[in-house]
Structure 1
Amino acid sequence: MDVVNQLVAKGEFRILKVPLGFIKVLQWLFAIFAFSTCGSYSGMFRVAVECKNRTDSDLSIEVEFDYPFRLHQVYFDAPSCKDGTTDRLFLVGDYSSSAEFFVTIGVFAFLYSTAALSIYLFAYEKYKANNKGPLIDLGVTAVFAFMWLVSSAAWAKGLSDVKTATDPDEVITMIPACDEEWNRCKEVHDPVMSGLNTSVAFGFINLVLWVGNLWFVFKETGIMAPFMRPPPQEKPAAPEAYEQDPYAGNQGQGGYQPEYSQDAEYGQQGAPTSFSNQM
């Protein structure tokens, strides 16, 4: 594009003001937000088990879990309410596949955005040479748009399952002592999931950014250039020459002179005849 070339010529960082560069910066930022909010998460919840024999009770059972959410490896000890013994229990589910897939796409999107920005800023002429750079950029952008769709949807489903598996009310049903009527079990603290909810939101924001960027990268390929040229303008027709008045020449020499009729000629000729008879 001529506008991009002018911005690059004036200063390499001015390309960030056009949609091609500005959206790439947003992709870079939101990719960081997506994988960091998911990959750095660590949460916990607490439940309380109050036994009939108060000495066996545990009113603050803390359960911690974190990324990549292999919950089947997370365990806690709950009182059995029998002679001071405890039962070791494990959470249910392994949701590492969807979480790791989401984080992996975010990391690779961040790396590609960094490389693309570097090329835009410092090697834009080589990027445009032979039109190979925009075509490769278009293909990679399309792949990442699809990957963000798949990974965000998978992680949204995985997060829903993580919330269910770490719900204190659900965990209480796993404790054998809580099945006894004379024991009381309740939740003390719910896990904070706002960071994980934000990561899903960032995933779909990335999807919108990468899909929207397809158009601006497609314009750089020049594929649509022949179809966007204005139609050739027709040359104005030469003014038609006016027909010359056949009497124009006569008018220029004194105007139109009517022809004399035969009667007039006869009259003029008859006058001398009658005059001669009178003589």
Structure 2
Amino acid sequence: MSDLRGRIALVTGGGSGLGAAIATALHTAGAEVVIVGRDATRLDAVVARLGERARALTCDVSDEVSVRRLADHLEGAEVSILVNNAGIAGPVAALTDVTPGEWDEVFAVNVRGTFLMARAFLPGMVARGAGDVINVASVSGKRPLAHRTPYTASKMAILGLTASLAFEVGPAGVTVNSLSPGPVAGDRMSRNFRLEAERSGRTVAQAEEAFVSRAALGRMVTEDEVGSAVVAMLAMPGMCGADVDLSAGMIA
């Protein structure tokens, strides 16, 4: 594992799931971790588990004022690692059944949130001439996924944002990369399999098998594997503008 002692890592969506796993991996590697999200109770539970070198701050990443307050609160702290993990799955439905409100909500969190957080914390990294941004995308941003159009489109947007931003701030010594997990075992995928089963008339087990069978390893990845991947990416300082596939071979 990389030695991240002395570095401050900011992880959005850190109260549960992937965010909590990423925060845990960074903390284990020695970083001081600031976890951000909308649910203070969940955030506090993660901090209580991690102990020293961890703190929680509430923030709605889709809201400009909320992000500005977060940045003001952390003024003076040298945040050198930003993991834009906050995201929502959105509806499981045909595009024609998706409401504009549902579409906008997905893009507000998944894309606008990434933009606002980068906009708030990149200036400090650029001024110091060092820093790492990792945007959590998805394998769904690289392959078709019927009935998940808002989510898929939002993750494709993250891939484009990552590649372009890397060329903006790379010359200043800041790396920007994305991590694209495949289906991750946990509550979110269980929800998606249940909704797909309801939509298609299949059982939940059949919906899960149809999805997981696309992967070369024939399984989903785990939250801990995603956390380890983030730490591994930070150990590769020459990587910039790249996307790392962590899908158990779903798009091999």
Name the TM-score, length of structure 1 as normaliser: 0.23
Query: Per residue, is there more helix in 1 or in 2?
Result: 1
Structure with larger RCO (C-alpha < 8 A, sep 6+)? 1
Instruction: Name the larger-Rg structure.
Output: 1
